[in-house]
C-alpha cells in the first residue's frame, strides 16, 4: 500500500512540473507585454523608458524565458509566488481571499450533482429500457449538450429578470449589512442558486450515465441474483450490493469531476460576478498578470492532481486486489 501511494505521488509530481512548463510557455507566447498593457489600462499613467525597464527587471521580464521560469520555480520552492503586476499585492494573499468563495460554489455543485445523478443512475440500471431509464437518458443528454454560458443567461433572464425570484448577479445584495444573521444567510443562499445550478446541470448527466454503466455491469453478476433470491429488496440490492461493487468506476468519475468544475467556474463566476478564483483568473488573463496566472494554474493543477491521487488511494481501499497486487511486487 505504501509503495502504491509513493508511486502515485511521484507521478503527480512529474505531471505537476510538466503542467507548469506548458502553462509558462503558453502565457508568454501570447502577444503583449504585461507592463505596457497595465499602463495602457491605467489611462493617465506615463513612464519613461528607463522606468519601464526598471519594472520589467523587477519582474525578471527582461530575461530569457528559461531564466524567468527558473526564477519563478525558485519562488515556488520557497512558497513565494511573487506580487501581482496589476495591483502590487502578494499573489498568495489575493488567492486566499477568493478561494473560500470558489470552494463553496464548487463543493455545493459537486454534492448536488452526486446526490441526484448517482441515485438516478442506479435506478436506471435496475430498470433498463423502461420509461424512467429512457426519459432520464434523453433529459440528461440534452442538458449536457447545452453550453453553460447560454444556460446561465437563460436562467438569469427567467428567474432574475422576468420572475424576479432570484438576484441577477453578485454574492450579496446592496443592503446585505442591514440584514439579520438569518437574513444574511438566506441572501447568500439566494445568490448561490443560479451559479450552483449552472455548474451542476451538465455534471448530472455524467454522474447518472457513468453510475448506470458501472451498476449495469455489476447487477448482472451471480451474487446479485443470489441476493434477490434470498428476498432482498431493490433498495438493499442496489445500495448494499450493487453500489458497493461499482465503486471503482464511480471513484474514477469523482476524481475527474473536480477539474471540470474548476474550469467551468471561470465562466460561471465571470457571468454571475461571483468574487472567486474563476473571476480572478479571467481578470488576470485579460491583464497579462503573469505571476497571478501562474499561481492560479499551479493551484488548479495541485487540486486536480490531489483529486486524482485521492481517487487512486480510494481505489486501494475499495478494491483489495490493488493492495494485494502492489504488496506482491
Q: How many structural domains does the chain have?
A: 2
pLDDT at residue 321 in the model? 53
Would you state the cell numbers that stand for residue 195, as one nine-digit string? 451559479
Would you state the cell numbers that stand for residue 15, as one nine-digit string? 505531471
pLDDT at residue 190 in the model? 92
pLDDT at residue 162 in the model? 92
| 212 and 320 inside one domain | no
| 161 and 188 inside one domain | yes
| 206 and 303 inside one domain | no
Yes or no: say if 277 and 102 are a contact pair by the CB < 8 Å rule. yes
pLDDT at residue 308 in the model? 72
Report percent pLDDT > 70 for the chain: 79
Does residue 93 form part of some domain?
no
| 249 and 152 inside one domain | yes
Query: Residues 312, 317, 318, 321: is their CA dihedral positive or negative?
Result: positive
Q: Which residues contact 310 (CB under 8 A, 6 or more apart)?
A: 255
Q: What would the pLDDT profile of 249-300 be if each residue is shown by its tens digit?
A: 667 666 667 776 777 788 888 899 888 888 888 888 877 788 888 888 888 8
- Mean confidence (pLDDT) of the chain: 78
| 176 and 199 inside one domain | yes
pTM of the entire predicted model = 0.74
Q: Report the pLDDT averaged over residues 74-80.
A: 81
Does residue 230 form part of some domain?
yes
Is pLDDT of 157 > 80?
Answer: yes
| 274 and 301 inside one domain | no
pLDDT at residue 327 in the model? 47
| 130 and 273 inside one domain | yes
If you search the block for the grid coordinates 426519459, which residue do you land on? 135
pLDDT at residue 156 in the model? 92
Would you state the cell numbers that stand for residue 290, as one nine-digit string? 503573469
Report percent pLDDT > 90 for the chain: 6
pLDDT at residue 186 in the model? 92
Instruction: Please give the residue range of the domain that contains residue 14.
Output: 1-86+291-329
pLDDT at residue 51 in the model? 64
pLDDT at residue 226 in the model? 75
Position 317 confidence tier, pLDDT thresholds 50, 70, 90: low
pLDDT at residue 328 in the model? 46
| 135 and 234 inside one domain | yes
In terms of average pLDDT, the best of 8-12, 50-54, 193-197 is 193-197
Q: Report the pLDDT averaged over residues 114-142.
A: 82
Does residue 172 form part of some domain?
yes
What are the φ/ψ torsions at residue 123 (nearest 5 degrees)? -70, -30
Is pLDDT of 101 > 50?
Answer: yes
Q: What would the pLDDT profile of 87-97 be if each residue is shown by its tens digit?
A: 778 888 888 88
Element (H, E) at 286: helix 277-286
Q: Report the pLDDT averaged over residues 293-315.
A: 77
| 123 and 138 inside one domain | yes
| 104 and 195 inside one domain | yes
- Distance in angstroms (rounded) separating the CA atoms of residues 224 and 122: 14
Q: Report the pLDDT averaged over residues 171-183.
A: 86
Q: Report the pLDDT averaged over residues 308-329.
A: 59
Query: Residues 266, 268, 273, 277: is their CA dihedral positive or negative?
Result: negative
Yes or no: say if 293 and 287 are a contact pair by the CB < 8 Å rule. no
| 148 and 191 inside one domain | yes
| 177 and 117 inside one domain | yes
Say which CATH number the domain at 227 has: 1.10.3720.10
- Distance in angstroms (rounded) separating the CA atoms of residues 109 and 201: 9
Is pLDDT of 40 > 60?
Answer: no
Amino acid at each position: 500500500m505504501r509503495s502504491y501511494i509513493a508511486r502515485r505521488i511521484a507521478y503527480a509530481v512529474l505531471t505537476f512540473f510538466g503542467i507548469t512548463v506548458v502553462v509558462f510557455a503558453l502565457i508568454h507566447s501570447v502577444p503583449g507585454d504585461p507592463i505596457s498593457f497595465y499602463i495602457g489600462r491605467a489611462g493617465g499613467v506615463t513612464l519613461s523608458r528607463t522606468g519601464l525597464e526598471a519594472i520589467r527587471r523587477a519582474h525578471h521580464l527582461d530575461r530569457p524565458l528559461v531564466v524567468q521560469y527558473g526564477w519563478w520555480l525558485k519562488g515556488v520552492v520557497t512558497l513565494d509566488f511573487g506580487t501581482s503586476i496589476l495591483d502590487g499585492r502578494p499573489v498568495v494573499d489575493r488567492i486566499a481571499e477568493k478561494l473560500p468563495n470558489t470552494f463553496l460554489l464548487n463543493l455545493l455543485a459537486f454534492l448536488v450533482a452526486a446526490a441526484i445523478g448517482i441515485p438516478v443512475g442506479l435506478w436506471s440500471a435496475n430498470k433498463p429500457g423502461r420509461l424512467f431509464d429512457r426519459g432520464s437518458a434523453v433529459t440528461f443528454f440534452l442538458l449536457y449538450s447545452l453550453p453553460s454560458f447560454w444556460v446561465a443567461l437563460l436562467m438569469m433572464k427567467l428567474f432574475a429578470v422576468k420572475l424576479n425570484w432570484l438576484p441577477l448577479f453578485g454574492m450579496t445584495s446592496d443592503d446585505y449589512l442591514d440584514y439579520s444573521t438569518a437574513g444574511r444567510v438566506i441572501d447568500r443562499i439566494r445568490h448561490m442558486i443560479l451559479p450552483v445550478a449552472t455548474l451542476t446541470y451538465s455534471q448530472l448527466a455524467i454522474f447518472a450515465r457513468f453510475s448506470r454503466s458501472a451498476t449495469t455491469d455489476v447487477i448482472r453478476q451471480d451474487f446479485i441474483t443470489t441476493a434477490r433470491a434470498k428476498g432482498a429488496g431493490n433498495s438493499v440490492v442496489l445500495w448494499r450490493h450493487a453500489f458497493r461493487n461499482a465503486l471503482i468506476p464511480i471513484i474514477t468519475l469523482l476524481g475527474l469531476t473536480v477539474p471540470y468544475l474548476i474550469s467551468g467556474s471561470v465562466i460561471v463566476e465571470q457571468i454571475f460576478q461571483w468574487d472567486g478564483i474563476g473571476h480572478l483568473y479571467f481578470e488576470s488573463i485579460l491583464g497579462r498578470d503573469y505571476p497571478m496566472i501562474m499561481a492560479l494554474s499551479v493551484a488548479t493543477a495541485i487540486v486536480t492532481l490531489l483529486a486524482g491521487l485521492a481517487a487512486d488511494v480510494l481505489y486501494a481501499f475499495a478494491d483489495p486486489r490493488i493492495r494485494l497486487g502492489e504488496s506482491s511486487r
